Amino acid sequence: MEFAIFFFFAAVAVIFALVVVLHRNPVVGALSLVASFFALAVMYVLLEAPFLAALQVIVYAGAIMVLFLFVIMLLNLQHVAEPVTRPVQQFLGYTSGAAFGLGLLYYIVKYAVFAKLPAGPFVTDARTIGIKLFEAYVFPFEMVSILLLAAIVGALLLSGRQYQKREAAP
């Protein structure tokens, strides 16, 4: 049963990821990416990390992808045809990507041979993560909060000023 769930959602994740890369309409790509992230959240549940699965749905599928969709619709990109990539770039991209993927798979199959999983339950509830986060990882946690503040200021500075310039120019 677990294997059936794994293979079904792995197929969903891979197929929607392929749609993201191959489809020419960015709105379809963004929605497929949301579907792929939901499938990955199921993977997180299978990996005994339900808290991270909830974060994946809320932060990734909820917040980040909505930001992507808003930008796509704000720029009105769904009607803009993407120019076709040069054949040389396509050939090099596909072949080097395939070579990279095959190398990765080769080394995983050859070297990623693990002993059996350790016995006992793997406790990963929000309480355990919170205690770890505020004991061992307090400094990185504060650094991330400062980084997020810097990102807010940077995003406002980058995207806010252009509108004023446009209105002032004519």
Partner 1 sequence: MIPTHYFLILSAILFTIGVVGVLTRKNGITIFMSIELMVNAVNLTFLAYARQFHQVHGLIFVFFIMAIAAAEAAVGLAIFITLFHHRDTIDVDEANLMHW
Query: In whole angstroms, what is the distance from residue 31 CA to residue 36 CA?
Result: 9
Using the structure block, give the residue that is written with the tokens 């446009």: 166
Estimate the share of the chain in helix, then strand, then coil, as percent rounded to the nearest 5. 80, 0, 20
Nearest to 27 by CA among 81, 59, 68: 68
| Sign of the Cα pseudo-torsion (157, 159, 162, 163, in order) | negative
Give the nearest distance from C-beta 168 to partner 1 in angstroms: 13
Using the structure block, give the residue that is written with the tokens 């890369």: 21
Give the nearest distance from C-beta 159 to partner 1 in angstroms: 4
The CA angle 75-77-78, to the nearest 5 degrees, is 135
Q: What is the DSSP letter of 116?
A: P
- Residue 32's identity, in one-letter code, is S
Query: In whole angstroms, what is the distance from residue 24 CA to residue 19 CA?
Result: 9
Give the nearest distance from C-beta 13 to partner 1 in angstroms: 7
Give the nearest distance from C-beta 117 to partner 1 in angstroms: 6
Give the nearest distance from C-beta 19 to partner 1 in angstroms: 10
- The residues near 122 (Cβ < 8 Å, ≥ 6 apart) are 48
